[in-house]
Amino acid sequence: MTTPVLRSRLPAVGTTIFTRMSVLAAQHGAVNLGQGFPDFACDPALPQLVTDAMRDGHNQYPPMAGAAPLVDAIAAKVAALYGRSYHPALEITVTAGATQALTTAILCCVHPGDDVIVIEPAFDSYLPAIALAGGVAVPVSMKVGEHGYSIPWDQVAAAVTARTRLIIVNSPHNPTGSVLRRADIDALSDIVRGTDILILSDEVYEHMVYDGAPHQSVCRYPDLAERAFVVSSFGKTYHVTGWKIGYVAAPAALSKEFRKVHQYNVFTVNTPMQHGIARYMADPAPYLALPAFYQRKRDLFRASLAGSRFTLLPADGTYFQCVRYDAISALPEAQFAEWLTREAKVAAIPVSAFYSQPTESGIVRFCFAKQDETLHLALARLAKL
């Protein structure tokens, strides 16, 4: 007997670069600064609140869109930070992580043949989700120079056609560490004004914007918020990426369509964790303190490599630092990342992995969401190159 041949829905998708680099790091005893998750524990009060929720009997299905205490807390946070009032019951949906939120948003609004503008380099879940929806990804590459990465809004505008259904933006941006400024928001507003184009705004690093700059959430701007799915992540905010809990804020009409898909791909999300997080959110201090927490790590990382042969690009947000390595090697990015893992014993991610087509910039990405001891060990190795 033989297994029937299955025609793949994602024939171009293989093992991700993150998995490959993590395996290589383990094989060579390298410090893994590739994958984007902390190697330190969350506040012990948070899992205790989840334990309390289980003991209090919150162990059955919650409402499909989210437990009432959590959607209420999310709506209150968004209103306090960004001035946008979302109706908790109609416009906030709790999701099984941000990736599910992103995929569900794409599936609910993109039809076969619709164009989706994707600004590259881009997080790796966008393109497969567009393909599963039958949409057509239209990539626009960011410009990169001595002042870092920027979006060429004239090229974004030129990419818009009658088939354009969705524009995906990501700020703070993974992998580049760039952030949207007010001028970017104005440019985006000009492009979509008077159209039926929707926006998917990936804001999972919303609480990691540095040097006193505000996070320019799409929620702040009524004309954009009215056409936007805004995605965030408790995993990133509270150092619990394995919990896989995020949320989407969107106007009622968009949320209604989002939930039609959501209820059939996950239905709902872990009940005790929702109640535990809701109670933890009563104190805003943990997320309000996050910019200073990670800026210190960013500054440690940058100061330690300031005299090295790496060229540091700006890191205005997220917990990622991109560097040029042309003074060290002429290897293509993927080969350099492998060499760095084997020889320097530090794993990084090639930025070329975040493009739909092969694109070499001579840049790799490090994650500094690590204990200081981890960073000191990695930085000492990198400084020797």
DSSP 259-315: HHHHHHHT-S--HHHHHHHHHHTT--HHHHSHHHHHHHHHHHHHHHHTTSSSEEPP-
Task: Kindly give the confidence (pLDDT) of every residue in the chain, 385 residues in length, as a single tens digit, with 9 standing for 90 and above.
Answer: 889 999 999 998 888 888 999 999 999 999 999 989 999 999 999 999 999 999 999 999 999 999 999 999 999 999 999 999 999 999 999 999 999 999 999 999 999 999 999 999 999 999 999 999 999 999 999 999 888 999 999 999 999 999 999 999 999 999 999 999 999 999 999 999 999 999 999 999 999 999 999 999 999 999 999 999 999 999 999 999 999 999 999 999 999 999 999 999 999 999 999 999 999 999 999 999 999 999 999 999 999 999 999 999 999 999 999 999 999 999 999 999 999 999 999 999 999 999 999 899 999 999 999 999 999 999 999 999 9
DSSP annotation of 338 reads H
CA atoms of 205 and 291, how far apart (whole Å): 10
pLDDT value of residue 16 = 86
How would you write 1-42 as a 3-class SS string?
Answer: CCCCCCCCCCCCCCCCHHHHHHHHHHHHCCEECCCCCCCCCC
State the CB neighbour count (10 A cutoff) for residue 163. Answer: 13
Q: CA 339 to CA 76: how far, in whole Å?
A: 48
- Predicted pLDDT of residue 261: 98
**Strand, helix or coil at 247?**
strand
Structural domains in the chain plus CATH codes: 17-42+288-383 (3.90.1150.10), 45-283 (3.40.640.10)
Find the helix or strand (DSSP H, E) in which 148 lies. Answer: strand 148-150
Helix (H, G, I), strand (E, B) or coil at 167: strand
Q: How far is CA 268 from CA 90, 92, 249, in A?
A: 15, 13, 16
Q: CA 47 to CA 175: how far, in whole Å?
A: 29
Residue with tokens 């007010």: 182
**C-alpha closest to that of 58 among 347, 279, 209, 267:** 279
Residue type, 328: I
- Show Cβ contacts of residue 18 under 8 Å, excluding neighbours closer than 6 positions: 34, 35, 124, 349
What is the model's pLDDT at position 360? 96
